[in-house]
Structure 1
Amino acid sequence: MNTAEFLTIAAAICPDKDAIVFEGKRYTFSQLNERVNRLGNALSDLGVEKGDRVAMLQVNTNQCLETYFAVARLGAIYVPLNYRAKGDELTYMLNSSEANTLLVGERYIDLANSIKSGLASVKNFISLDSRHAGMLYYEDMIKSSRADDIFTEIDDAETTILMYTAGTTGFPKGVMLSHNSFAIYVLENVSPADPESEEKNILTVPLYHVAGIQAMMAAIYGGRTLVIERQFDPKEWMRLVETEKVSRA
Structure 2
Amino acid sequence: MQIDGLIAHHARYRPDHLAIVFGDQRLSWDQFNRRVNRLAHALREAGIDKGDRVATVLPNCLELLDIYWACAKLGAVVVPLSPLLTTHGLESLMRNAAPKAVFASRETAAILLPAKPRLTSLRCCVLVGALADGCRPYADFTAGRSERNIGADIAPDDMFNIMYTSGTTGLPKGIVHTHRIRAHYGTLFANAWRMGPESVVLHTGAIVFNGAFVTLMPSFTLGARYVLAERFDAAATIDTIAAEGVTHTMMVPSQIVALLNAPNFDPARLQSLEMLLSLGAPLSVAHKDILEAALPGRFYELYGLTEGFVTILDRDDAKRKRGTVGVPPPFFDMKIVREDGKTAAVGEIGEIVGRGPILMPGYYRRDDLTADAIRDGWLYTGDLGFVDKDGYLSLVDRKKDMIDSGGVKVYPRDIEEILIQHPAVLEAVVFGIPDEKWGETPAAAVTLKAGQHIDAEVLREWTNTRVGARYQRLSSLGFLDQFPRNAAGKILKRELREPYWEAAGRRI
Contact residue 124 and residue 135 of structure 1 kept, 8 A = yes
Contact residue 185 and residue 213 of structure 2 kept, 8 A = no
Contact residue 11 and residue 33 of structure 1 kept, 8 A = yes
- TM-score, normalised relative to structure 2: 0.46
- Correspondence for 1:90: 90
- Correspondence for 2:214: 214
- Correspondence for 1:5: 5
- Correspondence for 1:42: 42
How many Å separate the matches in 2 of 1:148 and 1:197? Answer: 24
- Correspondence for 1:174: 174
How many Å separate the matches in 2 of 1:130 and 1:236? Answer: 26
Q: 1:100-139, aligned counterparts within 5 Å? A: 100-139=100-139
Contact residue 186 and residue 220 of structure 2 kept, 8 A = no
Largest Rg, 1 or 2: 2
- The farther-off stretch of 126-135 and 149-158 is 126-135
- Correspondence for 2:242: 242
Cα distance per residue 1:76-112 (max 9 Å; x no partner): 1000002222111110111110101000022212111
How many Å separate the matches in 1 of 2:129 and 2:171? Answer: 29
**What's the secondary structure of 1:243's corresponding residue?**
helix
- Correspondence for 1:187: 187
Write the letter of the residue equivalent to 1:113. Answer: L
Contact residue 167 and residue 173 of structure 1 kept, 8 A = no
Write the letter of the residue equivalent to 1:155. Answer: A
Q: How many residues are paired up?
A: 245
More strand by share: 2
How many Å separate the matches in 2 of 1:189 and 1:208? Answer: 19
Write the letter of the residue equivalent to 1:35. Answer: R
Structure 1 residue runs without a partner (length 5+): none
- TM-score, normalised relative to structure 1: 0.92
Cα distance per residue 1:154-211 (max 9 Å; x no partner): 11011100110126555411111111111123123427xxxx9542111123222112
Write the letter of the residue equivalent to 2:236. Answer: E
Contact residue 39 and residue 67 of structure 2 kept, 8 A = yes
How many Å separate the matches in 2 of 1:221 and 1:10? Answer: 9
How many Å separate the matches in 1 of 2:136 and 2:220? Answer: 28
Contact residue 56 and residue 80 of structure 1 kept, 8 A = yes
How many Å separate the matches in 2 of 1:189 and 1:116? Answer: 38
Cα RMSD after superposing both structures: 1.7
How many Å separate the matches in 1 of 2:134 and 2:187? Answer: 42
Q: Please tell me whether residue 54 in structure 1 is matched to residue 54 in structure 2.
A: yes
Write the letter of the residue equivalent to 2:159. Answer: T
How many Å separate the matches in 2 of 1:53 and 1:140? Answer: 21
Distance 1:12 1:206, change over 3 A: same
- Correspondence for 2:501: none
Q: Please tell me whether residue 22 in structure 1 is matched to residue 22 in structure 2.
A: yes
- Correspondence for 1:71: 71
- The farther-off stretch of 238-247 and 73-82 is 238-247
How many Å separate the matches in 2 of 1:237 and 1:127? Answer: 28
How many Å separate the matches in 1 of 2:43 and 2:65? Answer: 15
Structure with the larger RCO, 1 or 2 (CA within 8 Å, 6+ apart): 1
**What's the secondary structure of 1:147's corresponding residue?**
coil
**What's the secondary structure of 2:248's corresponding residue?**
coil
Cα distance per residue 1:10-55 (max 9 Å; x no partner): 2222110111111111111000001101100000000001110000
- Correspondence for 1:144: 144
**What's the secondary structure of 2:239's corresponding residue?**
helix
- Correspondence for 1:201: 201
Structure 2 residue runs without a partner (length 5+): 250-508
TM-fit CA distance, 1:127: 0.4
How many Å separate the matches in 2 of 1:209 and 1:90? Answer: 15
The alignment-based identity, stated in percent, is: 27
